[in-house]
Amino acid sequence: MINSDPSRIEYLWDTMWWKLHYVGRGGLVSFAISAVDIALRDLHTVYEFEKLINNGGVSFLEPDVSTCCGITGWTRVARMAYSRNLKVTTHGVHEIHLHLLASIPNASFLEVHGFSLERFIKNPPEIREGVMTSGLAPGHGVQFQWPALKEHLVT
């Protein structure tokens, strides 16, 4: 991992993951993957991110708006990261994270999640040549197509 290009995130993850198959679920590689997971997506409160940042345990953060106290919590984490010159990326709900990343100066990559809301919303974001663009709706831009959601109604 030393001297690897830090922007090749998928390569770094795959390299660490496959080393687990050779050394088992213990040792340094396992701890490294655990640290990556925790830093990237397993924190759910502003306080948890604050502790991680204050202890120097992360070089970029991946708050998830759906699990990190909503938009207010997400923006607080992004501001904390900015105050420490740290980048912010995203996890899940890319339809909303697209707008959040566009609103901060320390944005990094947008994760496009395997499960998306596109089939349930009007004017979903589009990806063209590796760039996602949002619609022109106000706010976060997500306007639900209620008839499409009807089949998932739980009563």
Distance CA 141, CA 124 (A): 8
Predicted confidence at residue 107, as pLDDT, reads 93
CATH class label, 41-119: alpha beta
Predicted confidence at residue 20, as pLDDT, reads 53
DSSP 66-106: TTTTHHHHHHHHHHHHHHTT-EE---S-HHHHHHHHHT-TT
Region 90-95 average pLDDT = 83
Ramachandran assignment for 28, one of left (phi > 0), alpha (psi -120 to 50 degrees), beta (any other):
alpha
Distance CA 58, CA 52 (A): 7
Neighbours of 137 (CB within 10 A): 13
| More confident position, 42 or 136 | 136
Domain ranges (residues) in the chain = 41-119
Residue 54 has pLDDT above 80, yes or no: yes
The least confident of 28-32, 41-45, 87-91, 131-135 is 28-32
Half-sphere exposure of residue 99: CA atoms within 13 angstroms, side-chain side: 16
pLDDT tens figures, 100-135: 999 999 998 888 877 778 888 888 888 888 888 887
Predicted confidence at residue 18, as pLDDT, reads 59
Contact 57, 39 (CB under 8 A): yes
